[in-house]
Amino acid sequence: MLKKLLTLFHCSALGALLASGFALADTLDEVVDRGTLRCAVVLDFPPIGYWNDNNEPAGFDVEYCKDLANSLGVEVDLIPATWSERLPLIVTGRADVVIGSTSDSLERAQTVGFSIPYAVFVSQAIVNTDSGIETFEDMRGKKVAAGVGTVQEQWYEEYADDWGDDYRYQGYQSENEVFLAVEQGKVDAGMTGNIVAGPIAQRFDNIELGPVLPFTADYVSMAGPRKDVSWLNYLNLFIQQQVRTGRYEELWAQFVGSDAPDLTVGGVYY
């Protein structure tokens, strides 16, 4: 009887070991084993992510996805997402990583894990030529748009109490709808990143560059499963290597066309 119990114990211990052995596999193992990297990107954010004229994904973030997949020796499976879809893709395990200009806010860090920043933007407005907006103060009382779930939306909202009735905000599902809204004159201004604002203002006759917004610098990170520290470590190293090998500069020059911004913050460890 005792012997029987012991064997049973052994078996279940072995079972537990096997089970935990599988459970311990991290995203890195899964990606290599699967042979594909499921990489989420935002594709209405030119030149960081967009559809080219063959209706294929292209842009800085898309190249980063491909580089990351290359480093792992796997195929890339690009998942186009809107702003608000990005983090749910990670939380529910449908994407391995989001390379989608995700600002590393503390609120979001309660839901997903962030790598070190891989790019940095300045928040800037694009304005309709008829809006008469020149400074940030001018946006008071004007209709201002941003994508639902962007940090620009959240930072702008911090002015809501101050401005009271002069606070007029409109959220849209995608960055593209923000551009369209400004272009059509549905809103007076849209809030986006500085490097995106440039091409948009060039493309449309009735959109021009608006004021740089008084928000903190917008450091953007890759997002992965929060508890998967080994995977996040790998992403950190990947970002480091991209800078070290000059690939970061190269891609930035190719897509954005200016000097690549410094990714370090002075006076504090990450």
Partner 1 sequence: MDYNFHWQPVIGRLPDLLLASLDTLQVAALSIVLGIVIGLLLAILRMNARGRWTPLQWFAVAWIEIARNTPVLFQLFFFGFGLGAWGWHLSPFMIVLAGLSFNCAGYLAENFRGGFQSIPDTQYRAARSVGMSAGQTYYHIIIPQVLRKVWHPLTNQIVWAVLMSSLGMLVGYQELTGSAQYFASRTYRIFEYFAVVALIYYALVKLILMASRMLGWRLFRSEGGV
Partner 2 sequence: MDYFSGLQLKDLGFLAEAAGRTLLISGVSIGIGSLVGLIFGWLLTVLGRTGRFLLNAVLDVFRSIPLLIQLVLFYNLFPIIGFSLGPFAAGTLVLTVYTVALVSNVTRSGLESVSPDLRRAARSLGLSYWQDMRHIVWPVGLRAVFPAWVGVALSVVKDSALVSVLGYVELLRASQTLITRTQEPLIILAIAGAFYFALSFPMARAASLYEKRWAQ
Q: To the nearest whole angstrom, how small is the minimum distance from the Cβ of residue 161 to partner 2?
A: 31
Give the residue among 121, 120, 122, 134 at the shortest CA–CA distance from 209: 134
Kindly tell me which of 148 and 260 has the beta carbon lying closer to partner 1.
Answer: 148
Give the residue among 189, 37, 220, 9 at the shortest CA–CA distance from 122: 220
One residue of 28, 39, 47, 101 binding partner 2 per CB under 8 A: 47
Distance (Å, whole) CA 198 – CA 47: 10
Kindly tell me which of 129 and 170 has the beta carbon lying closer to partner 1.
Answer: 170
190 binds partner 2 (CB under 8 A): no
Kindly tell me which of 86 and 143 has the beta carbon lying closer to partner 2.
Answer: 86
Q: To the nearest whole angstrom, how small is the minimum distance from the Cβ of residue 181 to partner 1?
A: 8
Is residue 77 within 8 Å of residue 98, measured between CB atoms?
A: no
Q: Which H or E run includes 248? A: helix 247-255
83 binds partner 2 (CB under 8 A): no
Number of residues that bind partner 2 (CB under 8 A): 30
**In degrees rounded to 5, what are phi and psi of residue 42?**
-105, 125
Part in contact with partner 2 (CB under 8 A); list of ranges 8-16, 150-158, 178-186, 227-235: 178-186
35 binds partner 2 (CB under 8 A): no
Largest Cα separation within the chain, whole Å, is 89
